[in-house]
Structure 1
Amino acid sequence: MNNSEEYRTEPKLAYAVVFGSVMVLGLPLNAVSLWILLRRHSLKSSNAIFMVNLAISDLLLVISLPMRVYLYATGTWPLSSKACTYITMLFRNNIRSSSIFITLISVDRLLAVVYPLRSRHLRTASNAWKSVALVWLFVLMVNIPEGLELPKNLNNSNESTCFEFRRQQQEQEQQPGLALSYFQLVLVVTLLTVNLVSTVLVSCTLHKRLNDSAKVNNKVNVMLIFAMNLVMFILCFLPASIGVLTIKTHEITPLVCLASVNCCLDPLLYYFSLDAFWKKKEDVDLAREQ
């Protein structure tokens, strides 16, 4: 009994520190990134549109973190069980929307590098906005069944257990919830595969153009973007998606902490291409087509 209580309370301060650090770093990084993208880049580039929406997705996660910090720091939950459900859904939505926007950025870079001329009619602002609208519509549609199932699975029997989940012992009874969890895992694995294939294709294409020394720095930046995308999938999105299905209640919180770090890593996607990020759009249009 004493060991159990120790296990439940001792890590909570560490969780509060991790979520607090993510919030302190993620809020200014994403806010500044969003400001620069909107101020210096008109939303006529598909890449800029995807990055703006990725920053918005991360900011939605960041605004949910103060309540996680409060819970793990004090051991009490001052809001309703519905608020607990909504904040949990914000975290899951971030995994879905961020993973999709990161993949769209990868595919956009793939088309720009491997098929620069043939893909121009695809890489338009109009198509990017349509893709973004479909992504957010998809996220909202998933929220409908998830909003009905999460309250049944959340172990919110008292004020100190928000964000924890009951063990799904009766699969027949919890079938909709399990289906959503499996769906998220399949989604993340599928998108990871797309990113892996994109990375290989871009790497092969750049290797063939290795003698073009004038653009070596740009090539390094492109590959850094793809490498960071893979890191975020493998370290942030995939473990949390697997953990929801396989790990017990108390042991999944470290994976949630790890997954939340993606909102601090995402701005690196913009900073890896500093020339494109800091210059105004009219100075970058030609570079984006290469």
Structure 2
Amino acid sequence: MMNLAYALIFGFVIAAGLPLNAMSLWILLRHHSLKTPSAVFMVNLAISDLLLIISLPMRVYFYATGMWPLNNMACIWVRMLFRNNIRSSSIFITFISVDRLLAVVYPLRSRYLRTSSKAWKGAALVWLIVVVVNVPESVGFSRFLDEAKIACFEYQNATFSSPAPSGPLNRAIDYFQLVLLFTMLAVNIVSTALVSWTVQRHLHESARVNNKVNVMLIFAMNLMMFTVFFLPVSLVVFFEYYRPALSCLASLNCCLDPLLYYFSFDGFWKRKEDVDTSLARE
């Protein structure tokens, strides 16, 4: 019964997330130039979500039928795409928060720091780190599948006493992901506090912000992404039994990211950039 619920949830993510993220990516590329850091980070975030979504059909098939029709290498790819989404999405969302923090709190001093070239370099570094981490993680998971002689994701239906799909190195990577998520969450909390303080107390700064509700909605959504979707699935290192349910929950994040794009570009940041430009001319 639970397997059917997992299949339905992953199916919903595909049905809702694929068109939403594909449309968001098209809009970002078509109507918003990649000359701003926010646009660069959001394009990479949309790509990360789409990579997760294309891995979900095989999860749906497994949970609906109880069978894995492909080889272990395909299983590893599906698993890595999911884990990569959690890691890359958390970093790109944090980059967006920091960029918005600099735009609101330090609009003039950060102008030369907030460039598209630096954003692309940061995005490339994120993807490089994600891929490098995948190498030892994939090797460890491959050994587990060979030794356990089970189908892909079958370990997720195991009891507490069943072996976890990781050796010492993979366990260390799990802890690395947990530390990464807590670090990114801390950065988001600090960014939210500073922006909220600037908007509410520093009227000479917040006067440049035309839609303060959108500003705080962006930061509130970012915090929700971490506390509801990213952290629980990273804590699974302590609660292997709940991995399937937490994985379903985490996959829902890609259906909400398009809202982040909407609030970021709902006429607000363009006006903000126009103000920065006029201030620079003065």
Match runs of 1:245-284 below 5 Å: 245-249=237-241, 251-276=242-267
Q: One-letter code of the match for 2:178?
A: L
- CA-to-aligned-CA distance 1:147-192 (integer Å, 9 cap, x gap): 1111234586233744638779899x92111100000000000000
How far apart in 2 are the matches of 1:202 and 1:213? 9
- Residue equivalent to 2:125: 134
Q: 2:156 aligns to what SS in structure 1?
A: coil
* 1:193 CA displacement: 0.3
Match of 2:156 in 1: 164
Query: How far is 1:99 from its partner?
Result: 0.3
Compute the displacement of 1:286 (Å). 1.4
Distance 1:206 1:97 in 2: 29
The reply on whether 1:286 has 2:274 as its aligned counterpart is: yes
The yes-or-no answer on 1:41 pairing with 2:29 is no
C-alpha distance in 2, partners of 1:43/1:274? Answer: 13
Which among 89, 95, 98 is matched to residue 104 of structure 1? 95
1:273: Cα distance to partner?
Answer: 3.4
Matching residue of 2:105: 114
Gaps of 5+ in 1: 1-9
Aligned in 2, Cα 1:21/1:170: closer, same or farther, shift over 3 Å? Answer: closer
Tell whether the 8 Å contact from 1:50 to 1:105 is kept in structure 2 after alignment: yes
**Residues of 1 paired with 2:191 and 2:152: CA distance?**
44
Q: How far is 1:48 from its partner?
A: 0.3
Question: Aligned to 1:44, what secondary structure does the other structure show?
Answer: coil
| Count of residues in Structure 1 that have an aligned counterpart in Structure 2 | 275
Q: Please say if 1:17 is aligned against 2:8.
A: yes
1:68 matched to 2:46: no
Amino acid at match of 1:182: Y
Per the alignment, residue 234 of structure 1 pairs with 227
Q: Hey, what's the Cα distance between the residues in 2 that align with 1:212 and 1:161?
A: 51
Counterparts of 1:96 and 1:34 in 2: how far apart (Å)? 20
Q: Separation in 1 of the partners of 2:47 and 2:122?
A: 15
Letter in 1 for 2:37: S
CA change 1:28–1:169 in 2 (3 A) is: closer
CA displacement 1:240-264 (0-9 Å, x = unmatched) = 0011x11134x21000001001101
Change (3 A) 1:190 1:46: same
Pairs within 5 Å for 1:183-198: 183-198=176-191
Specify whether residues 213 and 206 from structure 1 end up closer, same or farther in structure 2 by C-alpha distance, changes over 3 A only: closer
CA–CA distance in structure 1, aligned partners of residues 275 and 27 of structure 2: 18
Q: Kindly, what percent of the aligned residue pairs are identical? A: 60
CA distance in 2, matches of 1:284, 1:116: 9
Residues 87 and 195 of structure 1, relative CA distance in 2, 3 Å threshold: same
1:178 equivalent among 167, 171, 175: 171
Alpha-carbon distance in 2 for matches of 1:47, 1:257: 28
Decide whether the 8 Å contact of 2:13 with 2:252 is kept in 1: yes
1:221 to 214, 221, 224: 214
Checking the alignment, whether the CA contact within 8 Å between 2:52 and 2:81 is kept in structure 1 is yes
Greater Cα offset, 143-152 or 183-192 = 143-152
Q: Structure 2 length normalisation: TM-score?
A: 0.89
Q: Is the 8 A contact 1:146 1:180 kept in 2?
A: yes
Give the SS at the match of 2:190.
helix
1:218-269 residue CA offsets vs partner (Å, 9 max, x unmatched):
11101100000000000110000011x11134x2100000100110111111
| Structure 2 residue identity aligned to 1:44 | K
Alignment match, 2:71:
80
More displaced stretch, 153-162 vs 135-144: 153-162
Aligned equivalents of 2:117, 2:213: Cα separation in 1: 29
CA distance in 2, matches of 1:90, 1:218: 36
